[in-house]
Amino acid sequence: MTPSKYIKELASKREQVETGGGEKRTSKQHSKGKWTARERLTYLLDPGSFIEIQPFLTERKSSNDLESLNGDGVVGGFGKIAGKAVYVYAQDFTVLGGSLGEMHGKKIATILDLAGKNRLPIIGLIDSGGARIQEGVSSLDGYGQIFYRNVLYSGVIPQISVIMGPSAGGAVYSPALTDIVIMVEKISQMFVTGPKVMQEITGEQITAEELGGSFIHSQKSGNAHLTKPTEWEALDAVKELLLFLPEQNQQKTKPLPISEENHERPKLLELVPSDSKTAYDVRRIVEQIVDADSFMEIQDKFAKNIVVGFARVHGIAIGLVCNQPKYKAGGLDIDASDKAARFIRFCDCFHVPLITLEDVTGFLPGVKQEHEGIIRHGAKIAYAYAEATVPKITVILRKAYGGAFVALNSKSLGADVVYAWPQAEIAVMGPEGAVSVLNSDEIKKSQNPENTREEKIVAYREKHANPYKAAALGMIDDVIFPEKTRIKLIQALEMMYNKQVERPEKKHGNMPL
């Protein structure tokens, strides 16, 4: 064969690979409102930056099969997003349903290893029917190879999964082991046991969407961190996320340049009601203290009594953990504890400073919460904050009661700076509860019990629940004017930019999972 014939053969094989499962299956993919794997990569990555890895990889037993040449159902390699280098793989549903076989798993493992060795983020675009049944147990080994690497590189490089179709059976565990899971509404599903199998085993009838759609995982299970209406919006979310994260755990995110501005925020005086029982939306507070349009909320539909997300303060990327008085009075329950703890640890992995906006009545009371393990789940927040070595700042906006005050980044747990607004109430419990315990006999014997009770509440609040008592004991670093909050945060972040912490040498701690 002449050199020109070799070149023609190569061109032909590349064309076969790049067509995926062919025109008919591509059309079927499009009819479902889905892009192909290569179309997704084209949109996600900077033009001309994609370097494909192992395009001709194929399953062992079908090396002469035309379809098996098409990347074995996964396209992957190296590219750039807004100039930032990343590794990426996209499962191709037009080839064998994107199912994972031995070589499919090996290819993803190879890309994960390259990402780990080169300390670069890894992004997986998931669209797979699950294990390739016809390959038998070797497909299960492929999953194991991927899971092992997800764990090995956890906390070393950012790992992002975008669910862009089905993710069934063993396929769901790799996304669950990564840092962020993004789902596309009405297109993506995640479940261990599919609807058909479930019906056969349990007799339950349910659709794929009802079982594991984006609504379920964003609002009930908490498995999805972000959901977007379209594929391109989901991929845009990946681009936005990467702006807040470094390439790997030995780096910090570079501050963005920002023009000089007036950092005072007089509107803050109006946004938090003086009545501690009146609800408000903490997101309005966030908008005032962070750079304009920089807040990216994570898990916004799950455990709404806590708000977490990324933002920038004077160009510096930060993570926010905020009580949300609009839901459950901002109290901490099981789901809120898990959500906050996971986010705190993610930020700590990649040197993202933490700012906590606190307005908490305590851990949510109730038999159901106690029986389902609020003690264990609540301990996760305390563990995550105590373990974190990034700069940690707390601002107590209004209430900070009991164990929740301690758990939410108090000085005793290692907070670097704790500020409080003048109206902040910091105590073992709320004044109403405290008076009911301390002054119950006196109130009962009073000629006007209601008036006596109110007088005792006011006295308790003035004597025990004001921020100056905590400040006098060193539990609060400063009581600040609300409108100065942004300025104080900028100063604190600059002061602690080079923070380093020495910890006892150990293999790892034993978090209360």
Identify whether residues 382 and 444 lie together within a single domain. no
Identify whether residues 196 and 337 lie together within a single domain. no
Domain assignment present for 101:
yes
pLDDT by residue (tens digit) across 376-424? 999 999 999 999 999 999 999 999 988 999 999 999 999 999 999 999 9
Count of Cβ atoms closer than 10 Å to residue 83 Cβ = 7
pLDDT by residue (tens digit) across 445-456? 777 777 777 777
Domain assignment present for 510:
no
pLDDT at 440: 73
Cα(59)–Cα(72) distance, integer angstroms:
7
Identify whether residues 189 and 326 lie together within a single domain. no
Tell me the one-letter amino acid at 45: L
Domain assignment present for 253:
no
Residue among 129, 170, 194, 213 flagged as catalytic:
170
Identify whether residues 300 and 228 lie together within a single domain. no
Supply 335's token pair: 């789901």
Domain assignment present for 254:
no
Identify whether residues 301 and 313 lie together within a single domain. yes
Residue among 101, 169, 378, 430 flagged as catalytic:
169
Active site residue 404: yes
Check if the beta carbon of residue 204 is closer than 8 Å to that of residue 194. no
* Number of domains forming the structure of the chain: 3
pLDDT at 69: 53
Active site residue 222: no
Ranges of the chain whose pLDDT falls below 70: 1-2, 61-70, 260
pLDDT at 448: 79
Check if the beta carbon of residue 244 is closer than 8 Å to that of residue 201. no
Cβ neighbors of 466 (< 8 A, separation 6 or more) are 424, 425, 426
Domain assignment present for 141:
yes
Category of 319 on φ-ψ map: left (φ > 0), alpha (ψ -120 to 50) or beta: beta
Domain assignment present for 509:
no
Burial of 303: CB neighbours in 10 Å, binned 0-12, 13-18, 19+: buried
Residue among 22, 402, 403, 414 flagged as catalytic:
403
Domain residues for the domain of 146 are 3-244
Tell me the one-letter amino acid at 143: Y
pLDDT at 2: 63
* CATH number where 210 lies: 3.90.226.10
Pairing of the two strands 159-168 and 189-191: parallel
Domain assignment present for 45:
yes
Identify whether residues 239 and 319 lie together within a single domain. no
Identify whether residues 402 and 456 lie together within a single domain. no
| Residue 157 phi, psi (nearest 5) | -130, 150
Domain assignment present for 105:
yes
Q: DSSP per residue over 45-99, as a string?
A: SPTT--EE--TT---GGGTT-TGGGSGGGEEEEEEEETTEEEEEEEE-TTTGGG-
Identify whether residues 289 and 408 lie together within a single domain. yes
Supply 86's token pair: 């990343």
pLDDT at 61: 64
Identify whether residues 359 and 325 lie together within a single domain. yes
Identify whether residues 458 and 474 lie together within a single domain. no
Helix, strand, coil percentages (3-state) for the chain, rounded to 5, are 45, 20, 35
Identify whether residues 327 and 357 lie together within a single domain. yes
Identify whether residues 277 and 165 lie together within a single domain. no
